[in-house]
Amino acid sequence: MLVGEYQHTLDPKGRLVLPAKFRDHFSDGCVITKGQERCVYVFPLEQWAEEEARVRELPRTNARGRAFARSFFASADSQIPDKQRRIAITGKLQQYANLDKDVTLIGMADRIEIWDTPTWEAASEEADNFYSDIEEALSEHGI
């Protein structure tokens, strides 16, 4: 399972060393693509197959579904980590997610999200506030 938060840096070529706890999940390869909220998703190959199938099932008659699929698949980049366990983030994905040098990787159970660190800090604070409020609401309803 991919969990946890890790601070890393992109090298000048846009490469990133995978955290040790994540490496086994990506030894056969990965697919890197755009994520929501301007982050980058990194899927292990097995999970990518499931995600690919889910996106392919979006109705072609729906303009929003087509636009989502285009963006998702057009930005996708299949890779195998190098001997130093690095993956390379394309220039377009770096631009999309505003990735510079300092990045934060978070494990999301089935994928990694790569965030520009200041953007992640703001998103994390917002998520923590939301999480706290939801926990309160759930406990009030006996859940």
Please answer whether residues 97 and 116 qualify as being in contact, where contact means their C-beta atoms are separated by less than 8 angstroms.
yes
Residue 89, CA distances (Å) to 64, 103, 124 in order: 26, 12, 22
Find where tokens 């285009």 sit.
70
**CA 84 to the chain's CA centroid:** 21
Span 7-39, pLDDT tens digits: 999 999 999 999 999 999 999 999 999 999 999
Residue 33, CA distances (Å) to 52, 57, 91, 98 in order: 11, 18, 12, 14
Q: What is the pLDDT of residue 141?
A: 60
- Residue that wins the pLDDT comparison between 86 and 126: 86
Q: What is the pLDDT of residue 137?
A: 58
Assign a CATH topology to domain 2-140.
Answer: Chemotaxis protein chec (3.40.1550)
Which residues touch 3 (CB under 8 Å, ≥6 apart)? 107, 108, 109
Q: Where are the alpha helices (DSSP H) in 1-143?
A: 45-56, 63-74, 91-96, 117-140
> Is residue 91's pLDDT more than 90?
yes
Average pLDDT, the chain: 93
| Residue 107 host element (H or E) | strand 102-109
Q: What is the pLDDT of residue 126?
A: 87
What is d(CA 24, CA 91) in angstroms, rounded to the nearest whole number? 26
Span 61-70, pLDDT tens digits: 999 999 999 9
Mean pLDDT, rounded, for 102-119: 97
Q: What is the pLDDT of residue 139?
A: 67
Mean pLDDT, rounded, for 112-120: 97
